[in-house]
Amino acid sequence: MPRKPDNKVKYPFCKNNTDQKDLFFSKARYFHSAAYFNEFPDVIENEYCLLGRSNVGKSSFINHVLGNKSLAYVSKQPGKTKLANFFCIDESMVWVDLPGYGYAKASQSEKNRCSRLINDYCTKRKNLSGIIWLLDSRYIGVKVDVEAYDWLRQFGYPIFPIITKIDKLPQNKRTKQIHEIEEYYRFTPPTCTYSVHKYSFRERFWSTFKMWTQSITS
């Protein structure tokens, strides 16, 4: 599906081109999509995949954190990411946006294909370095999230949890909710909260992500 900007989501620092200059990296660009494992590009650099429940906000997160609102397709309807979409950052790191899981309204054949795509990527991609796993801050212990977490842990890949949509929680409940999520999944630091409506979350993400990548490659 072609990627289009969601003009109703305002990212004041985001640009519409893929040649942006940024404080955290020099260039981010989309370069490939695949519906099946045999369509994946050749292994070039270390890859980090983005995974999460349908409607967790992966596309908005990608656009916000990479500073370009037209990189990933954003839709009001969940389940629109049906391919593995590849993004290159500084020509030295690749992010792979995998289809969201748990979307009940998809056809069974489409569910099976997306599940197989996720499974093939996580089990066969030799340069997969870690998993950026997105969770909706409003919900704790959703069945498909628990199943996904149990499944991911069996492979031993480092997992970097991103707790999204933190702006949807009342200010006085955020700390308690985040703590309960971390306790429920027994996350070890670092975890990262995120909102696409504040620049400070973007700064915090890149600082934490850098520490995480250094810890798993050292």
- 89: alpha, beta or left, given left = phi > 0 and alpha = psi -120 to 50? beta
- From first to last of its 218 residues, the chain has per-residue pLDDT tens of 434 433 343 433 444 434 445 678 888 999 999 999 999 999 877 899 999 999 899 999 999 999 988 888 776 665 567 899 999 999 889 999 999 998 767 788 988 999 999 999 999 999 999 999 999 999 999 999 999 999 999 999 999 999 999 999 999 999 999 999 999 999 988 899 999 999 999 999 999 999 999 999 87
What are 121's two structure tokens? Answer: 């990527």
- Long-range contact pairs involving 144-149 (C-beta distance under 8 Å, separation at least 24): 144/53, 144/101, 144/102, 145/53, 145/102, 148/51, 148/53, 148/101, 149/185
Domains of the chain and CATH, by start:
28-213 (3.40.50.300)
Q: How many residues does the chain have?
A: 218
Give whole-number Cα distances, 50 to 19, 21, 162, 177, in Å. Answer: 22, 23, 10, 23
The CB density around residue 8, as the number of other CB atoms within 10 Å, is 7
